[in-house]
């Protein structure tokens, strides 16, 4: 296992080792350091010091408060020590021969750090410049939303050929958090960095890349069950355009896993589907997001939970993206007020569609009827018939 090579920047030291108990009463900590036995103790478990620190299993992090964790590590870790997190079978783990997981913890001057390690083909002295700024800008929106800060990025080792290993040191707000929460922040950072390096994307990492201004990572990726792109704005000056936007969003609200609609990218049909071909920025001004919001408020019912309409803009052009999280089943089906029939707008109609693969399918009349019948039965009898 590697050693902690980085000393985080100096800050106000917070000595957590000798805090007096409140009111003379000793507070029970979720984890503590036993100086006599050089061990971490939590619950009925005791972990002794190894050559470069301690090891915990990922399942054990759930019950450990982040503030208690910091205090214990401040008492028990040396300058170059870490707490490594084991993700596999702990009984089979050997600290000398077994690899630990890519997330570990370190402490310096009363500050707790999450270290994540990522293997990439990027070298710190690449001809195009150091990739550090790319990594920082990609992680910033993700970490900001999780009340965390990337304090240090460095390449590990000096091997002559790729792949190279990079370490990222993240400092998190510890209030009302567990060690597992911090671990998940580290895991999410790894997923985002891996997506940046390899192009393997999920809905969550795609959203973070869009927010960070790295839409170019999507080029070459397929559209699918959770991703749809459009090269130009919906015509929000016409009822037909507003209905079209509402239908695009309703496809994901009625789907199982939600999705993202991106305006400002071109797709290209290929055998077996459609790929994202290029970035095609659209005009963006102060009214753009509000017009999208207004169109959905008037034509999509019920209002989707936690819907995000955002943009990344530069010099009056950019990309607009609408993120649809998975919706509660009790809100479905989502209805679009209005329909386009034979090229004509029918304002009194409703339409219901959902996403399947790269296409959209209508929700059938029997499915709608069974949902309505079940609801009416529940109102009448207080129970849903089998």
Cβ distance 80 to 125 under 8 Å? Answer: no
pLDDT of residue 12: 41
Domains with residue ranges and CATH for the chain: 22-198 (no CATH), 221-380 (3.30.950)
Q: Is residue 306 packed enough to be buried (19+ CB in 10 Å), middle (13-18) or exposed (0-12)?
A: exposed
Q: Give, for all 386 residues of the chain, the pLDDT tens digit.
A: 443 333 444 444 444 334 444 444 446 899 999 999 999 999 999 999 877 789 999 999 999 999 999 999 999 887 778 999 998 888 887 766 777 789 999 998 899 999 999 888 777 666 566 788 888 888 988 999 899 999 999 988 767 677 888 999 999 999 999 999 999 999 999 988 888 877 778 898 899 989 988 888 888 888 888 999 999 999 999 999 999 999 999 999 998 899 999 999 999 998 888 899 999 999 999 999 999 999 999 999 999 999 999 999 988 999 999 999 999 988 888 999 887 766 777 766 777 766 554 444 455 556 666 666 766 676 776 655 55
pLDDT of residue 9: 43
pLDDT of residue 89: 85
pLDDT of residue 347: 65
Residue recorded with tokens 């050559």: 51
DSSP 19-77: PPPGGGPPPPPSSEEETTTTEEEETTEEEE-BTTEEEEEGGGGGG-BHHHHHHHHHHH-
Nearest to 86 by CA among 105, 100, 69, 102: 100
Global pTM value: 0.70
> Residue 178 forms beta bridges with which residues?
65
pLDDT of residue 18: 40
Whether the ω angle into residue 302 lies within 30 degrees of 0, i.e. cis, is yes
Q: Is residue 208 packed enough to be buried (19+ CB in 10 Å), middle (13-18) or exposed (0-12)?
A: buried
Nearest to 292 by CA among 320, 312, 264, 315: 320
């Amino acid at each position: 296992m590697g050693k902690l090579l980085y000393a985080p920047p100096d800050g106000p030291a917070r000595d957590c080792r000798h805090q007096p108990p409140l009111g003379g009463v000793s507070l029970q900590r979720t984890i503590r350091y036993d100086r006599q036995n050089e061990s971490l103790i939590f619950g009925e478990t005791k972990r002794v010091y190894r050559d470069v620190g301690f090891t915990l299993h990922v399942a054990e992090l759930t019950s450990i408060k982040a503030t208690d964790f910091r205090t214990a590590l401040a008492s028990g870790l040396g300058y170059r020590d870490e707490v490594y997190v084991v993700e596999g079978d702990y009984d089979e783990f050997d600290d000398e021969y077994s690899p630990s997981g890519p997330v570990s913890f370190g402490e310096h001057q009363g500050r707790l750090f999450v270290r994540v390690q990522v293997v990439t083909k990027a070298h710190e002295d690449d001809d195009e410049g150091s990739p550090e700024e790319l990594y920082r800008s990609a992680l910033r929106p993700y970490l900001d939303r999780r009340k965390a800060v990337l304090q240090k990025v460095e390449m590990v080792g000096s091997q002559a050929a790729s792949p190279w290993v990079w370490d990222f040191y993240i400092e998190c707000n510890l209030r009302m958090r567990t060690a597992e929460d911090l671990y998940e922040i580290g895991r999410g950072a790894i997923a985002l960095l891996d997506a940046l390096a390899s192009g393997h994307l999920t809905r969550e990492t795609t959203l973070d890349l869009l927010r960070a201004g790295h839409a170019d990572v999507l080029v070459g990726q397929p559209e699918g069950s959770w991703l749809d792109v459009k090269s130009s704005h919906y015509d929000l000056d016409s009822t037909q355009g507003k209905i079209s936007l509402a239908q695009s969003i309703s496809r994901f609200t009625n789907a199982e896993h939600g999705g993202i609609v991106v305006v400002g990218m071109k797709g290209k049909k290929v055998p077996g589907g459609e790929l994202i071909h290029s970035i095609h920025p659209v005009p963006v001004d102060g009214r753009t997001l509000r017009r999208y919001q207004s169109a959905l408020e008037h034509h999509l019912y019920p209002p989707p939970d936690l819907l995000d309409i955002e943009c990344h803009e530069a010099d009056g052009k950019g990309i607009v993206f609408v993120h649809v999280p998975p919706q509660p089943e009790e809100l479905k089906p989502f209805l679009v007020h209005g329909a386009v029939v034979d090229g004509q707008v029918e304002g009194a109609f409703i339409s219901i569609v959902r996403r399947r693969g790269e296409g959209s399918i209508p929700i059938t009349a029997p499915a709608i009827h069974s949902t309505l019948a079940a609801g009416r039965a529940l109102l009448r009898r207080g129970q849903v018939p089998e």
